[in-house]
Chain A
Amino acid sequence: MKTDQLISALVADRPADGYTLDRRLRLALLAGGLISLGLFWIFLRPRPDLVPALATWRFDFKILLMMLTAVLAFGFCRAMARPIASPHHARRLLLPAAALLAAIAVELLTIPSALWATRLVGSNSLVCLSAIPFLSLAPLTAVLAILRRGAPRSPALCGVAAGALAAACGATLYAFHCFDDSPLFVLTWYGLAAAIVISIGAIAGHRLLRW
C-alpha cells in the first residue's frame, strides 16, 4: 500500500460521533462513580451521625479536600492523556497537599500531644485501607478504558494521573462513612490507600496506555 492510498483510507474514516476525549472522560468518570456509589450504599453507607459531623470543621475539611483533589486530578489526567507535556497540572495537586499540611498544623496546635497518636491511628484504618481502593476500582477501570483513546507522552504517568483521580473519587465517597476526621489520620491512611490505587494505575497505564 502506498502512503497516498493509506491517506485515502484515513480520509474515508470519519468519526462516528463528535465526542471529545474530555467529554468521554467525564462520562466514564460519572459511570464509574455511580457504580462506586452503589457499592458504597450496599457495603458502607454514610456514618449515622452525618448531620452533627457536618457541623465540625474536621469533617467538612476532609470532604472538601477530597473533592478539590478530585477536580484537580481530573485536569491532571486530561493533560497527561495528550502527547504534549504540561507539568503545571501536576503542580496544582500541591494545593490540596499544602491545605492538608496546614490543617495538620492546626490539629497539632489545638489538641494535646497525648492525643496525637490516638488521632493518627484512628479506629478504622484497615477499613480505610481496603475501602478506598475498593471504591476506586470502577472509576479507575472506566477512566483507563477511555484513556486508551489518548496519546499520552508517558503512559505510566498517565496511569498515575488516572490512579490519583480514581483514588480521589473513592476517598470522597469513603469520607462520608469514615469516623476518623483528624487531618493526621487523613494524611496517613487516605494517603496510603491513594498510594495503592496510584501504583495500580501506574502499572496498568504502562501496560494499557501505550500507543
Chain B
Amino acid sequence: MYPSHDLSVLMRLSRGGDEGAYRLLLGHVASWLRGVAQRGLARVGLNAEDGEDIVQETLLAMHLKRDTWDETQPLEPWLRAIAHHKMVDHLRRRGFRVMVDIDDLADLPAPSPGPEAGASVDTRKMLSCLPARQRQIVEAISIEGYSARDVGERLGMSEGSVRVALHRALKILATAYRREQP
C-alpha cells in the first residue's frame, strides 16, 4: 500500500501524521543502519554486536532532528549525513579518530532485511536514567505496545500529557547517548 522504496514520500506522509508510513520508514532505515554500523565497527576492530546502539542512537537523532530535512530535497542524502555524524561521534567517544567512509553509507535503501535486530543492552541501562513516570510511559508504549491513549488511562493522565512526557523522555535518551563514555 505504500511506495515503500521512496523514502522521501514516506517521510512526507509521516509528517502529515501517517503512523504506518513512519513505522515503515524507520524500519527500512534501521536495517540499512545496521549494515552500516556493523561494517563501520568491524573496520576499526570493534565487536559488531555494539552496532545496535549506533542504530538506536541514530534513529533517535533522525527522529528528533527530522525538522531539518528540507522537503524539496531527496531524503537519502540527509539520512546519510545524520548517520555519518552519529557514526563519527560514536567512534570518537570510544577514542577512535577515523574517517567514516562515505561510500559505506551509499547503499541506501537496503531493500532486503538486514541482519537480525538485536536487543541493545545499553538502552536498557539508559532507560534507568529517566524519571520514573517517563520510564513507565516509554516502557508501556515501546515494550508493552500500548497506545498513548491507553497509557494515559492507565496512569490517569491525558493523552496529550503522555505525548509531552514521551517527547521529553526521548530527548533525555538522546542526550544520555551523547554523554555516554564506554
Real complex partners, A and B? yes
Cβ of A6 and Cβ of B166 under 8 Å apart? no
User: Which of A's residues lie within 8 Å of B, judged by CB?
Assistant: 1-16, 20-21, 81-84, 149-151, 153, 210-211
Interface residue? B60 (CB, 8 A): yes
Of chain A, the residue at the smallest CB distance from B86 is A211
**Chain B: how many interface residues by the 8 Å CB criterion?**
45
B111 located at the interface, meaning its Cβ lies under 8 Å from any Cβ of chain A in the complex:
no
Q: Is B148 an interface residue (CB 8 A)?
A: yes
Closest to B27 in A: A7
B77 & A84 in contact (Cβ 8 Å cutoff): yes
B82:A7 contact, CB within 8 angstroms: no
Q: Which residues of B contact A84 (CB under 8 A)?
A: 73, 77-78, 81
B163–A16 touching, CB < 8 Å? yes
Among the listed stretches B15-23, B42-50, B99-107, which one makes contact with chain A, having 4 or more residues with CB under 8 Å of it? B15-23
The majority secondary structure among interface residues of chain A is loop
Contact yes or no, A1 B148, CB < 8 A: no
Is there an interface contact between B167 and A20, defined as CB atoms closer than 8 Å? no
Give every chain A residue within 8 A of B178 (Cβ-Cβ). Answer: 210-211
Asked if B22 and A11 make an inter-chain contact with CB atoms under 8 angstroms apart, the answer reads yes
Closest A residue to B145 by beta carbon equals A8
Asked whether, in the complex, the Cβ of B166 is within 8 Å of the Cβ of A153, the reply is no
Q: Are A83 and B30 in contact (CB under 8 A)?
A: no
Contacts of A150 in B (CB 8 A): 65, 68
* Complex contacts, B59 vs chain A, CB 8 Å: 3, 6-7, 10
Given the contacts A9-B170, A12-B166, A3 and B117 also touching, CB distance less than 8 Å? yes
Q: Which residue of A lies closest to B63 (CB)?
A: A10
A206 to chain B, nearest CB (A): 14
Indicate if the CB atoms of B163 and A10 lie closer than 8 Å: no
Chain A residues near B81 (CB-CB < 8 A): 83-84, 153
Residues in chain A near residue B77, CB distance under 8 A: 84
Pull 28 A–B residue pairs with CB atoms less than 8 Å apart, ordered by A.
A1-B56, A1-B142, A2-B120, A3-B52, A3-B56, A3-B118, A3-B120, A5-B142, A5-B143, A7-B23, A7-B26, A7-B30, A8-B145, A9-B141, A11-B23, A13-B166, A14-B163, A21-B67, A83-B68, A83-B81, A84-B73, A149-B68, A150-B68, A151-B61, A151-B65, A151-B85, A153-B81, A211-B85
